[in-house]
Chains A and B, each alone.
Chain A
């Protein structure tokens, strides 16, 4: 990127203060991303050990208690209780398991499939390429959330179905990315060299092409985890995701919506949990992008 007009005042990109601030923001952001993600994983793994209450324990006598720092709240329930008297903090802690599990699994299921299809389509072109890309086009013609709620409604909502739906929805992006990369790589000298040395197609694809397309795919995959967590929460919010009584953040928001005029903490905290988690993963994705593949400007 050639410099614009480094000397002109209104456009000069870096004043001393600005540079200092931006460096600070960037560093902090990276650290924050890593901290949030690590914290999340730890909380999810240790959920039964660290949550103060059983997330399913109901106590109607103690329903809709406000958070500890408000009048009427107590240290017993730090973030208050919901309409059935369940401890919100414990439910958020347990909800992190559902979110992370779904986010990770759906990406882990769809990413390899998408990448393989994209690699094969881009390398062999022809019929396979046509079919794969046509299917991808059709799938992209739907707003994904609409397709997801339709399938969830038809198959019946459950943890397994949500993961499946999100996995089915996710492969397109990896396939397109991998295909595009292969198309530009396949005529490069080192691939030709491998071919003239007698390397088989699969050897070339997986030993020589794959490592060269890995970084953008890792970056996109990271952002996809965040995306999937958001989608899962949307499905659960509509009542088409993980079913009660399993605590999930989207489901908690759905329950709490009816009590919005009397108990704001029912909806505020689980939503904040979703946002922080997704934000943390996005931070990490941004950081990975700068690290691995600065050319990827916007995903």
Chain B
């Protein structure tokens, strides 16, 4: 998997033009360019370039950023905490809202509450992340002057970006929690639980919700990937100094090694989070065993 990811990243980035042209000034001579290409290894056959790339990557060396003239990996890792902070805050926002909303929706299926929640979720899923961000800035920063428009700092800086990034997930998770809950509520053991006169709260939280959590955890794993992707845009809107913004600037500057490092680290995080989810299953559902 990781090999595939590295292959894709490596070749996609080389689809474009010659970085020697873009990085050197216009009056650079032909020999300047050749020397630069040679120094950077751009003149070697592409499979050799890839082999070198993999060999170095395994040693934690993802090349040097062409712009910053520093090793790329530390540059990316330096931005990692900011992105993680944002993604986790967004995840927390979405779970806090989505799980209760989805559960109530399922339990009160087909009521006005349920329909309005689902309508709201559909609205949430239809809203472009960056637009929501801009609208929040417009209302809370420009009009009400309550919260800062951009940058990273204290808690106040985190609120708008986290809400922005969290909304899309909230909408999706709500729908999924509801669907999962409906599935479980239809099962015989839930009827049994009710039949023996357990209070509603106990049936819903102890019996139904716990069994709904398995699919929900899967989604959260996937959601983390979506959040990391969404962070690219949210970070751009709020000038949040994370990996996403680094990637966007690096792309505009044709800083290939840096783009490579950012995309690789993000994909790796994504794969890791899915692994973590697999491990969580066993804890949540003792019926699942790893052999």
Closest residue on chain A to residue B109 by CB atoms: A13
B39 within 8 A of A: no
Contact (Cβ within 8 A) A143 B4: no
- Decide: A29 near B137, CB < 8 A? Known: A137-B1, A141-B271: no
Contacting residues of chain B (198-246) with chain A, CB-CB under 8 angstroms: 200, 225-226, 228-230, 232-233, 236-237, 244
Q: B residues within 8 A CB of A134?
A: 4
Expressed in whole angstroms, the Cα–Cα distance for A94 and B225 within the complex equals 34
Contacting residues of chain B (14-32) with chain A, CB-CB under 8 angstroms: 14-16
B128 within 8 A of A: yes
B251 interface neighbour in A149, A283, A298, Cβ under 8 Å: A149
Whole-angstrom distance from the CB of B232 to the nearest CB of chain A? 6
**Most A Cβ at <10 Å: residue of B14, B127, B191, B247:** B127
Contact (Cβ within 8 A) B251 A150: yes
Q: B residues within 8 A CB of A14?
A: 110-111
Contact (Cβ within 8 A) B13 A230: no
A interface residue count range (under 10 / 10 to 19 / 20 to 34 / 35 or more): 35 or more
- Decide: A156 near B16, CB < 8 A? Known: A141-B5, A237-B128, A297-B179: yes
A21 within 8 A of B: yes
Q: B residues within 8 A CB of A240?
A: 251
Expressed in whole angstroms, the Cα–Cα distance for A141 and B128 within the complex equals 22
Contacting residues of chain A (197-226) with chain B, CB-CB under 8 angstroms: 226
- List 28 interface pairs A-B (beta carbons < 8 Å), by A numbering: A13-B110, A14-B110, A18-B111, A22-B110, A25-B116, A26-B115, A137-B1, A138-B8, A142-B8, A143-B225, A143-B226, A143-B232, A144-B229, A145-B232, A149-B248, A150-B9, A150-B247, A151-B12, A152-B251, A234-B130, A237-B130, A240-B251, A268-B135, A271-B128, A274-B128, A274-B131, A275-B127, A282-B126
**Most A Cβ at <10 Å: residue of B9, B109, B130, B182:** B130
B138 within 8 A of A: yes
A267 within 8 A of B: yes
B16 interface neighbour in A15, A26, A154, Cβ under 8 Å: A154
A190 within 8 A of B: no
Contact (Cβ within 8 A) A153 B115: no
Whole-angstrom distance from the CB of B189 to the nearest CB of chain A? 12
A181 within 8 A of B: no
**How does the 8 Å CB contact mask read for A267-280 relative to B, with 1 for contact and 0 for none?**
11001001100110
B123 within 8 A of A: yes
- Decide: A267 near B110, CB < 8 A? Known: A138-B8, A142-B8, A156-B16: no
Known: A239-B252, A282-B125. 15 other contacts (CB 8 A): A18-B110, A22-B110, A22-B111, A22-B112, A25-B119, A26-B115, A137-B1, A141-B267, A233-B128, A234-B128, A234-B130, A257-B134, A264-B138, A274-B131, A275-B128
A35 within 8 A of B: no
One of A4-12, A75-83, A116-124 contacting the partner: A4-12
Q: Interface of chain B, helix or strand or loop or mixed?
A: helix
Contact (Cβ within 8 A) A150 B270: no
B92 within 8 A of A: no
We find that the number of chain B residues with CB closer than 8 angstroms to chain A is 69
Closest residue on chain B to residue A261 by CB atoms: B142
Q: B residues within 8 A CB of A144?
A: 229
Contact (Cβ within 8 A) A226 B126: yes
Whole-angstrom distance from the CB of A60 to the nearest CB of chain B? 24
Closest residue on chain A to residue B125 by CB atoms: A282
Whole-angstrom distance from the CB of A147 to the nearest CB of chain B? 7
Per CB-CB distance, the 8 closest pairs between chain A and chain B, nearest first, are A143-B229, A271-B131, A153-B251, A138-B4, A154-B16, A21-B112, A279-B126, A18-B111
Q: B residues within 8 A CB of A279?
A: 122-123, 126
B12 interface neighbour in A154, A268, A286, Cβ under 8 Å: A154
- Decide: A253 near B191, CB < 8 A? Known: A238-B236, A275-B128, A298-B175: no
Interface positions of B (Cβ within 8 A of A): 1, 4-5, 7-9, 12-16, 107-116, 119, 122-123, 125-131, 134-135, 137-138, 142, 175-176, 179, 182-183, 185-186, 190-191, 194, 200, 225-226, 228-230, 232-233, 236-237, 244, 247-248, 251-252, 254, 259, 262-263, 266-267, 270-271
A291 within 8 A of B: no
A25 interface neighbour in B112, B190, B228, Cβ under 8 Å: B112
Expressed in whole angstroms, the Cα–Cα distance for A257 and B191 within the complex equals 54
Closest residue on chain A to residue B14 by CB atoms: A154
Contacting residues of chain A (249-299) with chain B, CB-CB under 8 angstroms: 250, 253, 257, 260-261, 264, 267-268, 271, 274-275, 278-279, 282-283, 286, 297-298
Closest residue on chain A to residue B225 by CB atoms: A143
B115 interface neighbour in A8, A22, A141, Cβ under 8 Å: A22
- Decide: A25 near B115, CB < 8 A? Known: A2-B191, A279-B123: yes
Expressed in whole angstroms, the Cα–Cα distance for A239 and B248 within the complex equals 10
Q: B residues within 8 A CB of A239?
A: 252
Expressed in whole angstroms, the Cα–Cα distance for A110 and B279 within the complex equals 34
Closest residue on chain B to residue A1 by CB atoms: B186
Q: B residues within 8 A CB of A230?
A: 126, 128
Closest residue on chain A to residue B172 by CB atoms: A298
Q: B residues within 8 A CB of A71?
A: none
- Decide: A153 near B259, CB < 8 A? Known: A25-B112, A145-B233, A260-B138: yes
